[in-house]
Amino acid sequence: PRLRQRLQAVFVEMSFERQSEVLLESIAQYEAGIRQLLNCSDWRKLLHIVLVAGNYLNSTNKSTSGAWGIEVSTGLQKLAQAKATGRAKFTLLHWVAEVADSKAPELFSLQARLDKLEGAANIKLEDLKADLVQLVKGCELVERELKASSGETFGVPSSTPGAREFITAMKPFLLETAKPVTERLQRAMDSLEKHATQILDEHGEIPSKCSASQLLATAHMFCKALNKAREENLLAQVVEDKKSKIEVKKKTGKAKNGDSTISPCLAATSKQLDKQLKVDQLNKKLRNSFRKSSTRTNDSGSAIKEALAKMKRSAGAGIQTA
């Protein structure tokens, strides 16, 4: 009789140490992330910059009726969605990064300093509570079986085989290990719940809408997105500097060619002089060509005259001979 209950108690004793260690580590990790965010003054400074931006937008937005404040769990994610009218890729998150870069550059190290948020964000308080309840129920099962085997439940000690050995093996486990550990875990859980409520209250969040793990995840993702926005701002600045240098080179080249630094009157005069110079050069070429053609004509005329004179002389010589 009661073999199944005793086997369950033995299974509790075998798995208790591993389960309690995992639960204690998870509670410590979760609370470390919450404490890290609670004690970070630079995180509050960053939220102050975001709050200024949010209040300014709300004051000019009729749909919000001039509401003051911003929900951290949802408002931080919306910063990347609010885009500027003049710059398509410039969002409110880029503006926050720009202000932080000029006023408080130390805020960009929050992602490295808040290194416990990512691990704590993956833990849920409800799961930790369920694990603790399971351990407590296991301890209660062991305690019930010990009472049944020792006679405290039925008034008569159990005469089933192995009852005395079960008491000898399980009673030290219950008194020296199970109860002290579960009490320690319960104290750690109470402290964790207290800090989880505190961090939600400080950020103005409602526990039914946002949990502490969701808040930690939002803070981690926002710090990561802030650093990315800063890198994009620096890249945009480099591109803008290159464009300005190209414009300066273009203007400098125009100035050397006389298109930008010379006044309109001087530019018009220089064009007229160039035109007159080209006309003079053309006239000079024409005069030279006329001179060459006249010289050739004179040379051919004198040659004809000499030929006629030779013909006359030869004709006169033939008459005399006859």
Using left for φ > 0, alpha for ψ between -120 and 50, and beta otherwise, residue 156 falls in: beta
pLDDT of residue 260: 47
Structure tokens at 192: 């964790």
Determine phi and psi for 160, rounding to 5 degrees.
-70, 150
Q: Which segment, 87-101, 226-240, 256-270, is predicted with the most confidence on average?
A: 226-240
Is the pTM higher than 0.75? The answer reads no
What gap in Å lies between CA 190 and CA 162, rounded to an integer? 39
pLDDT tens per residue, range 144-158: 888 887 776 555 565
Distances in Å between the Cα of 162 and the Cα atoms of 94, 112, 150, 280 are: 72, 57, 12, 132
pLDDT band at 296 (very low <50, low <70, confident <90, very high): low
Position 34 pLDDT exceeds 90: yes
Q: Which of 33, 226, 40 is nearest to 118 (CA)?
A: 33
Kindly report, residue by residue over 169-187, the tens digit of the pLDDT.
899 999 999 999 999 999 9
Residue among 91, 60, 87 nearest 228 (CA): 91
H-run or E-run covering 321: helix 264-321
SS3 90: coil
Q: Can you state the angle between helices 92-103 and 41-60, rounded to 10 degrees? A: 130
pLDDT category at 322 given cuts 50, 70, 90 is: very low
pLDDT at 55: 76
Q: How many residues does the chain have?
A: 322
User: What confidence category does residue 275 fall into, taking pLDDT thresholds of 50, 70 and 90?
Assistant: confident
Taking the C-alpha atoms of residue 4 and residue 9, their distance in angstroms, rounded to an integer, is 9
Distance CA(96)–CA(77), nearest Å, equals 13
Beta bridge partners of 91: 83
From CA 168, how far away is CA 215, in angstroms rounded?
48
Ranges 11-20, 52-61, 239-248, 304-313: which has the least confidence = 304-313
- Phi, psi for residue 164 in degrees, rounded to 5: -65, -40
Find, among 104, 93, 87, the residue nearest to 231 by Cα: 93
